[in-house]
Chains A and B, each alone.
Chain A
């Protein structure tokens, strides 16, 4: 059971918008920056969002992140079939002195 809670799956049609939630506690999301990772089928995870809402160079503006209290959200607009992947949130947990990840959310673009 993951320290951070994500929905197992989400789906939406091409061109639409989807959000993926990540719920934690004061020891992790509440007091540390959140990152998001995209894992396309059969590949290694890829850095998508850092410091809650910042995009590394090369990541399209269609991807956005936000944080409020002990929850974080990844938003993807203008969905493309190539966005079908597993998405993970992650952050440092100050109580555990460990990095923690969400269980992952499988995005299906119908």
Chain B
């Protein structure tokens, strides 16, 4: 069974940094692309970033470019999102999501999310 467990969410002040992690299990991690998708309170889904199976290709939403960095450690079956210069509008539940090999491939399984709150 596919299992994705996010961690690292917290209350942080604007301008600060935060690193999210996702521990994956139940599948061969390095066969799949991985993504971060967020959902602000009472809002819809917003794709943040994706990384292909070997980390050779990454993609970011315009809202994340220059501030967020996605990475993965296939030896540890883990996905990361380093977020810097955080803004109040980054407040959201951040989901770790599995994708199909390449960043453009279909997205299927979702974790339960980790909450990031940016406020002074």
Write the residues of chain A forming the contact surface with B, with a CB cutoff of 8 angstroms.
2, 32-33, 35, 37, 44-47, 50-51, 56, 86, 88, 90, 92, 94, 97-104
Contacts and interface: CB of A to CB of B under 8 A. Distances in A.
A51 B110 contact: no
A101 B45 contact: yes
Interface string B21-50: 000000000000001010000001111001
Nearest to B106: A50
Contacts, number: 58
Nearest to B46: A101
Given A98-B47, A98-B61, A104-B44, A90 B104 contact: no
* Interface residues of chain A: helix, strand, loop or mixed (majority): strand
B18 interface: no
Greatest chain B CB density within 10 A among A47, A88, A102 is at: A47
A12 to B, nearest CB: 22
Contacts of B101: none
A94 B37 CA distance: 18
Interface residues of B, number: 23
B44 A103 contact: yes
Nearest to A33: B106
Given A98-B61, A99-B35, A50 B108 contact: yes
B13 interface: no
Contacts of A97: 59
